[in-house]
Amino acid sequence: MAQIDNLPPLRDVIERHDLRAKKSLGQNFLLDLNLTCRIARAAGDLSNHTVIEVGPGPGGLTRALLHEGAKKVIAIEMDPRAMGALQEIADHYPGRLDIIQGDALKVDVTELAPEGPVRIVANLPYNVGTQLLLGWLEQDAWPPFYDSLTLMFQKEVAERITATEQDKAYGRLGVIAGWRTHADKLFDVSREAFSPPPKVTSSIVHLTPKSNPLPCKLRYLEKITAAAFGQRRKMLRQSLKSLGVDHLALLEEAGLLPTQRAETVPVDQFVSMANILARIKPD
């Protein structure tokens, strides 16, 4: 195992703070600091950035972010048992680590580092991760408060986030992520890298905001993608019926064939459909 700082090995930290992984908190810890350093580097140059880290647990990734030169890290962790371990890291890097104990779904991260710039890095339980990702993609203000998101997901979810049309995994997540960001799957992380090992392989996804995404109201994009992918095997002339509008006219105006299926429609045309829907059936 790599020695990147003079702090004790993560196994000892976990033992000393009685941080046995809890399933209810989706805890699968990374113990290899070589790997966490690789993830930290995937977030890009951190020397001018405040990194908001969600779900640091015993701090393997936190240590890597600080070691790799993050100007500052603000870590949000729900598990009170992790506070002692995180405080030791804060003491080792004076003034560079702030710890917030709480549920990341309830913390307003937009206000944490008003001076900016900010990057977000997280290895979270999958359901919380997807929910947070959607929240970060759905910001009213765009470009948003962050320069990038570097996130761990189950591989299958990572493939959905980064999918484009024609990919098997293309769906609502790919459309929403593709509308506002450039999303790339960087590398896989095997089950064995975690303690305890999860059921499936994980992947790191890196997203950077597009500076000028096509204007669109997210709720209409949600409606269109829900209808279109709700019945992804069906042609659009069938699946979009549920919108309760003249969907054939909508398709024609968006330049799409009624016989196309959702998985063949590029993001820009989903945005066109969403904007047409907003005009003909505003809510």
Closest approach of ligand SAM to the CB of residue 71, in Å: 20
Q: At 37, which amino acid appears?
A: C
Instruction: Tell me: is residue 151 an annotated ligand-binding position.
Output: no
Nearer CB in complex with ligand SAM: 104/175: 104
Closest approach of ligand SAM to the CB of residue 62, in Å: 7
Provide φ and ψ at 107, rounded to 5°. Answer: -90, 130
180 token code pair: 């506002």
Nearest residue to ligand SAM on Cβ basis: 55
Nearer CB in complex with ligand SAM: 121/228: 121
Closest approach of ligand SAM to the CB of residue 112, in Å: 13
Nearer CB in complex with ligand SAM: 68/77: 77
Instruction: Tell me: is residue 28 an annotated ligand-binding position.
Output: yes
Residues paired with 43 in a beta bridge: none
Nearer CB in complex with ligand SAM: 105/248: 105
Instruction: Tell me: is residue 123 an annotated ligand-binding position.
Output: yes
Instruction: Tell me: is residue 48 an annotated ligand-binding position.
Output: no
Closest approach of ligand SAM to the CB of residue 190, in Å: 14
Residues within the interface to ligand SAM (CB under 6 A): 25-30, 54-57, 60-61, 76-79, 103-105, 123-125, 128
Instruction: Tell me: is residue 34 an annotated ligand-binding position.
Output: no
Q: What is d(CA 279, CA 254) in angstroms, rounded to the nearest whole number?
A: 13
Which residue is listed with tokens 């030791």?
88
HSE-CB for 245 with a 13 A CA cutoff:
21
- How, if at all, do strands 202-209 and 148-154 pair? antiparallel
189 token code pair: 């992380």
Q: At 50, which amino acid appears?
A: T
Closest approach of ligand SAM to the CB of residue 29, in Å: 4
Instruction: Tell me: is residue 103 an annotated ligand-binding position.
Output: yes
Q: At 230, which amino acid appears?
A: G
Write the burial class of residue 240 (CB in 10 Å: 0-12 exposed, 13-18 middle, 19+ buried).
buried
| 47: three-class secondary structure by DSSP | coil
Q: Which residues are annotated as a binding site for S-adenosyl-L-methionine?
A: 28, 30, 55, 77, 103, 123
